[in-house]
Structure 1
Amino acid sequence: MIQWRKYDPKNPPEPGRYFISDGIDADVAIYTKLWDGWSISDDSLINSSNDVTHYAVINLPGEEEA
């Protein structure tokens, strides 16, 4: 099961790749400090970084969450 975390722009995650959600759809995005927000693919169902409500760490088989 994916452990979703509520996204708080005042306390963002570390830069990296994450699952993101707007509460309806989910996608993969990169959180970057360069833009101070989410870099989302143009073909994503999530319209913009302002729509992100939750995120989850991507950990592949054999990886442990830090």
Structure 2
Amino acid sequence: MADTATRTMIRTQGRKATVAFGGRRSGQRHPLVATAMVLPLAALLLFFFGGWDAVVTQASSVGVMLGR
């Protein structure tokens, strides 16, 4: 028979420790925090790979689609 009680106890103890240190149980972060984390990396990738033209083209096409 599988020893599931021990594994369950270990998992719940880990969750309690995470909550005690200020973590969230849901595992989701606020969209603004996620955006703030991604934007610097996106800017670096645009700069190093020269993607400004692609961004302008995509933004223009989205603007045309929204204008219809």
For normalisation by structure 2, the TM-score amounts to: 0.16
Q: Give the structure with the larger strand fraction.
A: 1
For normalisation by structure 1, the TM-score amounts to: 0.16
